A = this chain, B = another copy of it.
Amino acid sequence: MKINVVKNVLAASEGQARANRKRLDDAGVVAVNLLSAPGSGKTTLLEHTIPALSPGLRCAVLVGDLQTTRDAERLGGLGAEVTQINTGRGCHLSPAEVARGLDGLDLSGLDLLFIENVGNMVCPAAFDLGEHFRAVLLSTPEGDDKVAKYPTLFQGADIILLTKTDLIEIVDFDVSRVREDLAKLNTKAPLVLLSSKTGHGMDEWLDWLRGRARGGVSEA
Q: Which residues of A contact B (CB under 8 A)?
A: 1-2, 5, 37-39, 65-68, 70, 89-91, 118-123, 126, 139, 141-143, 145-146, 148-152, 164, 167, 170-171
* Minimum CB–CB distance for A166 against chain B, Å: 9
| Complex partner residue of A170 from B70, B119, B150, B170, CB under 8 angstroms | B170
Give the top 7 A-B pairs by smallest Cβ distance, nearest first: A39-B142, A141-B141, A91-B122, A39-B143, A37-B38, A68-B148, A37-B37
Contact of A89 among B38, B126, B145, B148 (CB under 8 A): B126
Interchain CB contact under 8 A, B91 and A38: no
Number of copies: 2
Which B residues lie within 8 Å of A167 (CB)? 141, 167, 170-171
The distance from the CB of A159 to the nearest CB of chain B, in whole angstroms, is: 19
Out of B5, B66, B120, B151, name the residue touching A151 (CB < 8 Å). B66
